[in-house]
């Protein structure tokens, strides 16, 4: 940006009254991670978006600050008189300190309103005031001429609303033109229609949308429709303006239809020319008998007729008459607000289904098409894409669980008791690192709590640290198809960026490689700590979780038992004893593992003094740590030989302590049986002799029951407490070894895994809820859900080259970790339908809440709280130019291994499905041989190792749909590759399942991929903000590949130059 220095100096010297604000401030620049320099006093003058800094009031301006793309941070404390200007460009912050708090506040307001955004807000405010004044004047004038009886009823403008089905768009219509007049006779018109809305209350023309371009005809029939969402303020009095343009040069006329001023026609050099326009009232269209309007197109001066335009009211549930022979091309997009749910069937309506679904979906965008079928009939397609509130809700819930789990673990490490100096120093180091990580989680949760605005993370934010737990571009992509002879159908795909730790980077690979490398390094650290395999550390976490869960339950059931004894209630006593027995048996079973015994022995050797009564040899030779303890324990004991031995360790003591719990429970059971038996005998005798004496006996024996059971219950609690203390310490010691062996890599890998898992889980929860809602009336699916589980198929489009290989490794581990997630459906007790997450890192339960009417439709097994299993599978095929390089000069082993591993998981699910489900449970695909053939075909394609074998993706997606699974499509950012894949899949479904005319497959595909139809977008808008993208890669992707295909020598040269640039970058 260039400035005229003389003009700026002249502006700075103008009289005081010419400035918006001026005064003394102490100012300095603040560079991140550097100390604050002592502020210097300056005379500051604010004019528009320019802040002049001068040494004194009469001196020249020493600096000019442009107040654009910046924001003001005001400190809220009563004593603080400073503010900070932060710049989006990354320039050092500007620290400003005023003389008083009122002065500081006035500067904060002035600086906040100084930029162009503040000016726009002022303009909008003034416009609203003008409109209010106009309405007041028109109302006053009307009151002067209306009779007094009508004046009382004249208040706010009353408009006639359009009556539509709940949860359906208010208005939808299709467009066609006839007999258009071209500027020259030989000219073949390429036309599109721009749709604008005139709101009756404001009388302002608002651009709403535009159609696709139809080429080479004067009678264009547009395959796109116009949709107005349920909450859109459209009434019968609303006017809609239709403007027809002729596109001369399609390459110059892409999205510019949306950025022209409303009151101006396009310039001739914009690549198109104005043909004509027409206007109609919505009420005229809705009330017309044929539900059709034929309007005359006229030039801007209203004199010349240039053709006609046909407007047809559209209802998704009704068939459209007419043949399709004269259709010429493409289709369009539109905006729609509330997502249309599945067809209402018996027992429940879309209105009942709406609140719980809208709790997780928001800001949907809708595109309306009409395509011809093979028998020349019309089918209508409504394509919707919606954000989900779960993008932020699930990560925040998950981080909160991580914080609680880590705080509990840190406390358990502190409760280990006295340790030898070597182990004590190790514990202090581990706790210090864990506290730092815990603080990071807490800061991240606090930052996410401050987030406002969009409910999804765009791809340009994938490198932000505060948003690293949030999935990228998580959306629901839904296609609702209404065919003339087939049942309406919904096809859902969840689109999301590959779950990966983008902020941490991929210089050293992704989780798959890092975890393998870390595990190998841990095995070689036996001289510092005791090695426990990942299975053993997972078992230790499970034992600790069981302790924390079962101990309070057992204590509460024991108290209930004593309460029943004091009330002398035999039935209640039996029930309390039954619950106490079940929980205690689970408690005892949790410690029936060699790991606890060997960990107790290892913990004893870490005490300040120890003598082993028996050799430190684990009894279970099958355990992986057995051999290592032969190596590790003797050095530890030998290192502590200088410490006086003051105790001896008896390995059999743990067996005795552990067995005491079972013995104490047996004593309680025996005592209850004896008391109940005596009570039965006593009641029989007393009832035969004197009934009134039996009542007295009840009061006497009630105290006896309590007194006889109380010492036994206390003994049970004491024995259980001793077991808990020892088991907790031993398992905490195992976790100490896991952390100590790999600091700080262990914690960093845990963080990376948490980040990736958080992104994957948010998508899974969204997919499960959507699938449950749309299949609520499918009894076969519900039976499959609780009997077998839900298949979740991820389609990956990442290459195995450069950073994307690391993303694929992260994604593979994150999706695999979803196997430890279980779902549970519960009845909602309030209006909050967001899911509830419980559990720990090794096991999570997601509780999905449904309204009472929907909950009643579920099978009894699900209503009783049965946990529902997930079976996630990932198939990846790189399709971009980077994958070409990987296949020719790199390595595709990672992709091949992932596909092979997940094929085995898919076969396992299919095996369970065939074993547990009846053969006719799939309504659309009842032939089991069909699925067998698809699986065999998928197996052959994976084994073939063919380059860019997209047949793998199509087969996996088809199998998933046939098995009632949930479909995901992922690439780096869920934009270009993802949208191309989804649109291709949608058109293929229309062709194979709904008889799309074969000649219109490419046209339908172009319609769904067209960016021309995004009438509400500007050229600079990010397509992630809610609209489908233009899926054609930009030229910067095409030109290098086109050149490289000319010669293999050029390819080699290009690779050498790329390597040189990479080396220079990382040096």
Q: What percent of the chain has pLDDT over 70?
A: 76
Q: Are 25 and 41 in contact (CB under 8 A)?
A: yes
Above 50 in pLDDT, residue 693? no
Q: What share of the chain is helix, strand, coil (3-state, %, to 5)?
A: 50, 20, 35
Give the whole-angstrom CA distance, residue 872 versus residue 906.
Answer: 9
Say how many C-beta atoms besides its own lie within 10 A of residue 303's C-beta.
7
Pairing of strands 50-54, 40-47: antiparallel
The 10s digit of each residue's pLDDT in 475-507 is 999 999 988 777 888 999 999 999 999 999 999
CA dihedral 61, 67, 71, 77 (to 10 degrees): 30
Say what the pLDDT of residue 1049 is.
55
Most confident range (mean pLDDT) of 671-680, 715-724, 957-966 is 957-966
Residue 822, both tokens: 């279980």
Q: Are 922 and 959 in contact (CB under 8 A)?
A: no
Above 70 in pLDDT, residue 59? yes
Say what the pLDDT of residue 345 is.
34
The mean of the pLDDT values for the chain is: 78
The 10s digit of each residue's pLDDT in 504-538 is 999 999 999 999 988 888 777 655 678 888 888 88
CA dihedral 356, 360, 365, 368 (to 10 degrees): -40
Say how many C-beta atoms besides its own lie within 10 A of residue 715's C-beta.
17
**Catalytic residue flag (residue 971):** yes
Mean pLDDT over 154-182 rounds to 75
Band the pLDDT of 1011: cuts 50, 70, 90: low
Q: Are 29 and 37 in contact (CB under 8 A)?
A: yes
Segments in 523-651 forming alpha helices (H): 534-566, 570-590, 594-605, 625-639
Residue 545, both tokens: 């979780």
The 10s digit of each residue's pLDDT in 183-206 is 777 788 889 999 999 888 777 888
DSSP string, 238-287: -EEEEEEEEES-GGG-SSGGGTS-TTSPPPGGGTEEEEEEEEEEHHHHHH
Phi (first) and psi of residue 847, to 5 degrees: -95, 110
Band the pLDDT of 634: cuts 50, 70, 90: very low
Give the whole-angstrom CA distance, residue 783 versus residue 785.
Answer: 5
Q: Which helix H or strand E contains 172, and what residues bound it?
A: strand 171-178
Residues in a beta bridge with 478: 384, 492
Token look-up 């929860």 returns 765
| Better-predicted residue by pLDDT, 907 or 256 | 907
Q: What percent of the chain has pLDDT over 90?
A: 30
Give the whole-angstrom CA distance, residue 891 versus residue 885.
Answer: 9
Say what the pLDDT of residue 357 is.
77
Task: Spell out the residues 6+ positions from residue 559 whose beta carbon is closer than 8 angstroms to its own.
Answer: none
Mean pLDDT over 272-290 rounds to 88
Above 80 in pLDDT, residue 849? yes
Nearest CA to 965 among 771, 737, 749?
Answer: 771
Above 60 in pLDDT, residue 889? yes
DSSP string, 9-63: HHHHTS-GGGSSEEEEEEEEEE-TTSPPPPPEEEEEEEETTEEEEESSTTSPEEE
Say what the pLDDT of residue 251 is.
56
Q: Are 853 and 772 in contact (CB under 8 A)?
A: no
Give the whole-angstrom CA distance, residue 796 versus residue 880.
Answer: 12
| Better-predicted residue by pLDDT, 692 or 178 | 178
Residue 23, both tokens: 């005064």
Burial class of residue 66, CB neighbours in 10 A (0-12, 13-18, 19+): middle
Q: Are 540 and 734 in contact (CB under 8 A)?
A: yes
Q: Is 1056 left (phi over 0), alpha (psi -120 to 50) or beta?
A: alpha
CA dihedral 342, 348, 353, 354 (to 10 degrees): 90
**419-442: buried (b, 16+ CB within 10 Å) or exposed (e) per residue?**
bbeebeebbeebbebbeebbeebb
Residue 168, both tokens: 């359906």
Band the pLDDT of 462: cuts 50, 70, 90: confident
Q: Which helix H or strand E contains 104, and what residues bound it?
A: helix 101-112
Say what the pLDDT of residue 157 is.
56
Above 50 in pLDDT, residue 1067? yes
The 10s digit of each residue's pLDDT in 902-957 is 999 999 999 999 888 876 665 444 455 688 899 999 999 999 888 889 999 999 99
Residues in a beta bridge with 838: 845
List own/partner pairs for 674-679 with CB under 8 A and 24 or more apart: 675/565, 675/573, 675/705, 675/708, 675/709, 676/570, 676/573, 676/574, 679/568, 679/570
Q: Are 356 and 250 in contact (CB under 8 A)?
A: no
Nearest CA to 497 among 771, 810, 885?
Answer: 810
Say what the pLDDT of residue 213 is.
85
Give the whole-angstrom CA distance, residue 299 versus residue 588.
Answer: 88
Say what the pLDDT of residue 683 is.
66
Task: Spell out the residues 6+ positions from residue 497 whose beta carbon is closer than 8 angstroms to its own.
Answer: 459, 462, 471, 472, 473, 474, 759, 970, 971, 972, 973, 974
Residues in a beta bridge with 309: 177, 295
Return the ∠ at Cα 1025 (arms to 1023 and 1030), rounded to 5°: 15
Confidence (pTM): 0.71
Range with the poorest average pLDDT among 5-9, 45-49, 459-463, 876-880: 5-9
The active-site residue out of 971, 987, 1007, 1027 is: 971
Mean pLDDT over 630-650 rounds to 39
Band the pLDDT of 1040: cuts 50, 70, 90: very low
Residue 943, both tokens: 């084994």
Mean pLDDT over 447-473 rounds to 89
Nearest CA to 195 among 178, 163, 171, 160?
Answer: 171
Q: Are 762 and 935 in contact (CB under 8 A)?
A: no
Instruction: Enter the DSSP assignment of 385.
Output: E
Burial class of residue 815, CB neighbours in 10 A (0-12, 13-18, 19+): buried
Taking the CA of residue 511 as centre, how many other CA atoms within 13 Å lie in the half-sphere pointing to its CB? 25
Q: Is 48 left (phi over 0), alpha (psi -120 to 50) or beta?
A: left
The 10s digit of each residue's pLDDT in 82-108 is 888 888 777 888 888 888 888 888 888
Taking the alpha carbons at both ends of the chain, their separation in whole angstroms is: 33
**In the chain, what's the furthest Cα-to-Cα distance?**
120
Task: Spell out the residues 6+ positions from residue 1051 whose beta carbon is closer than 8 angstroms to its own.
Answer: 1044
Above 50 in pLDDT, residue 1018? no
Band the pLDDT of 79: cuts 50, 70, 90: low
Say what the pLDDT of residue 133 is.
64
Nearest CA to 221 among 1034, 945, 1000?
Answer: 1000
Nearest CA to 28 among 96, 81, 115?
Answer: 96
Nearest CA to 171 among 397, 14, 336, 404?
Answer: 336
Above 60 in pLDDT, residue 1020? no
Residues in a beta bridge with 361: 388
Say what the pLDDT of residue 586 is.
83
Phi (first) and psi of residue 631, to 5 degrees: -85, -40
Above 60 in pLDDT, residue 635? no
Say what the pLDDT of residue 2 is.
57
Q: Are 213 and 1012 in contact (CB under 8 A)?
A: yes
Q: Cα dist. 429→408, 434, 473, 538, 726 in Å?
A: 17, 9, 39, 22, 23
Above 90 in pLDDT, residue 435? yes
């Amino acid at each position: 940006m260039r400035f005229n220095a003389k003009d700026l100096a002249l502006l700075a010297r103008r009289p005081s009254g010419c400035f918006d604000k001026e005064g003394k401030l102490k100012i300095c620049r603040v560079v991140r991670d550097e100390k604050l320099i002592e502020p210097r006093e300056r005379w500051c003058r604010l004019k528009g978006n320019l802040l002049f800094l001068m040494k004194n009031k009469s001196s020249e301006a020493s600096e000019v600050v442009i107040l654009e793309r910046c924001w003001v941070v005001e400190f809220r404390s009563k004593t603080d008189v400073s503010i900070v200007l932060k710049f989006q460009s990354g320039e050092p912050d500007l620290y400003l300190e005023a003389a008083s708090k009122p002065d500081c506040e006035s500067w904060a307001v002035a600086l906040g309103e100084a930029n162009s955004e503040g000016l726009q807000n002022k303009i909008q405010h003034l416009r609203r005031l003008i409109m209010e004044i106009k309405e007041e004047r028109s109302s006053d004038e009307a009151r002067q001429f209306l009779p007094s009886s009508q004046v009382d009823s004249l208040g706010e403008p009353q408009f006639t609303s359009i009556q539509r089905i709940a949860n359906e768009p208010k208005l939808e219509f299709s467009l066609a033109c006839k007999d258009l007049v071209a500027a020259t006779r030989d000219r073949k018109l390429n036309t599109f229609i721009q749709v604008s809305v005139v709101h009756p209350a404001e009388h302002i023309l608002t651009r709403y949308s535009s159609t696709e371009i139809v080429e080479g005809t004067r009678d264009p029939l547009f395959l796109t429709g116009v949709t107005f969402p349920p909450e859109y303020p459209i009434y019968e009095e609303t006017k809609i303006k239709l403007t027809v343009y002729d596109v001369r040069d399609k390459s110059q006329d892409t999205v510019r239809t949306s950025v022209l001023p409303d009151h101006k026609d396009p310039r001739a050099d914009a690549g198109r020319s104005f043909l004509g326009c027409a206007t109609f009232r919505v009420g005229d269209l809705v009330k017309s008998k044929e539900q059709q309007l034929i309007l005359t197109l006229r030039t801007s001066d209203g004199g010349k007729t240039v053709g006609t335009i046909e407007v047809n009211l559209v209802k998704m549930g009704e068939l459209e008459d007419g043949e399709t022979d004269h259709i010429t091309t493409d289709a369009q997009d539109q905006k729609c607000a509330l997502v249309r749910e599945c067809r209402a069937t018996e027992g429940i309506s879309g209105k009942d289904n709406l609140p719980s679904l809208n709790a997780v979906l928001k800001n949907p965008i809708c595109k309306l098409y009409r395509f011809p079928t093979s028998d020349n009939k019309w089918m209508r397609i409504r394509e919707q894409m919606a954000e989900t509130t779960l993008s932020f809700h699930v990560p925040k819930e998950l981080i909160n669980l991580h914080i609680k789990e880590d705080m509990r673990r840190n406390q358990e490490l502190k409760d280990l008791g006295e340790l030898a100096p070597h182990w004590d120093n190790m514990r202090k180091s581990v706790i210090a690192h864990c506290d730092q990580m815990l603080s990071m989680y807490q800061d991240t949760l606090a930052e996410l709590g401050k987030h406002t605005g969009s409910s999804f993370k765009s791809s340009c934010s994938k490198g932000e640290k505060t948003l690293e737990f949030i999935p990228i571009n998580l959306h629901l992509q839904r296609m609702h198809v209404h065919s003339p002879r087939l049942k309406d159908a919904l096809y859902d795909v969840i689109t999301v960026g590959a779950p990966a730790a983008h902020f941490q980077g991929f210089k050293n690979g992704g989780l798959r490689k890092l975890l393998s490398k870390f595990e190998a390094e841990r095995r070689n650290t036996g001289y510092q700590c005791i090695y426990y395999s990942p299975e053993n550390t997972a078992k230790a976490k499970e034992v600790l979780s069981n302790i924390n869960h079962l101990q309070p339950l057992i204590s509460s059931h024991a108290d209930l038992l004593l309460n029943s004894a004091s009330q002398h209630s035999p039935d209640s006593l039996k029930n309390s004893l039954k619950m106490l027995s079940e929980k205690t048996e689970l408690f005892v079973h949790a410690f029936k593992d060699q790991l606890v015994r060997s960990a107790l022995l290892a913990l004893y050797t870490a005490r300040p003094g120890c003598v082993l009564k028996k050799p430190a040899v684990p009894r279970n030779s099958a355990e992986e740590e057995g051999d290592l303890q032969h190596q590790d324990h003797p050095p530890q004991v030998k290192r502590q030989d200088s410490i006086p031995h003051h105790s001896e360790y008896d390995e059999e003591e743990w067996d005795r302590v552990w067995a005491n719990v079972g013995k104490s429970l047996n004593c309680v059971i025996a005592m209850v049986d004896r008391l109940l038996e005596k009570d039965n005998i006593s009641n029989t005798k007393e009832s035969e002799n004197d009934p009134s004496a039996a009542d007295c006996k009840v009061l006497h024996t009630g105290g006896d029951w309590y007194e006889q059971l109380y010492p036994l219950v206390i003994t049970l609690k004491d024995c259980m407490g001793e077991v808990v203390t020892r088991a907790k310490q031993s398992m905490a010691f195992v976790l100490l070894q896991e952390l100590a062996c790999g600091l700080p890599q262990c914690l960093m890998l845990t963080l990376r895994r948490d980040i990736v898992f958080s992104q994957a889980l948010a998508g899974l929860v969204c997919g499960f809820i959507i699938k449950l809602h749309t299949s609520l009336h499918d009894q076969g699916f519900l039976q499959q859900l609780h009997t077998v589980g839900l298949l979740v198929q991820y389609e990956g489009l990442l290459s195995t080259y450069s950073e994307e290989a690391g993303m694929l490794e992260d994604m593979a581990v994150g999706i695999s970790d979803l196997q430890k997630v279980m779902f549970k459906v519960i009845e909602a007790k309030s209006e909050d339908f967001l899911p509830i997450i419980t559990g720990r890192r090794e096991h999570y339960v997601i509780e999905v809440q449904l309204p009472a009417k929907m909950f009643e439709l579920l099978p009894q097994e699900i209503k009783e709280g049965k946990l529902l299993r997930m079976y996630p599978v990932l198939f990846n095929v790189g399709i971009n130019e980077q994958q070409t390089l990987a296949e020719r000069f790199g390595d595709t082993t990672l992709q091949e291994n992932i596909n092979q591993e997940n094929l085995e998981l898919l076969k396992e699910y299919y095996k369970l499905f065939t074993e547990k489900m009846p053969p006719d449970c799939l309504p659309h695909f009842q032939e089991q041989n069909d699925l067998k053939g698809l699986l065999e075909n998928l197996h052959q394609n994976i084994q073939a190792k063919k380059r860019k074998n997209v047949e793998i993706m199509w087969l996996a997606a088809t199998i998933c749909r046939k098995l009632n699974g949930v479909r995901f499509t992922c690439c780096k950012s869920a934009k270009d590759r993802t949208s191309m894949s989804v649109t291709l899949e949608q058109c293929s479904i229309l062709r194979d399942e709904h008889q799309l005319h074969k000649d219109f497959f490419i046209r339908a595909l172009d319609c769904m991929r067209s960016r021309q139809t995004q009438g509400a977008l500007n050229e600079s808008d990010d397509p992630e903000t809610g609209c489908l993208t233009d899926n054609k890669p930009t030229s910067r992707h095409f030109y290098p590949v086109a050149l490289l295909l000319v010669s293999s020598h050029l390819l080699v040269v290009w690779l050498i130059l790329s390597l040189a640039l990479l080396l220079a970058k990382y040096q």
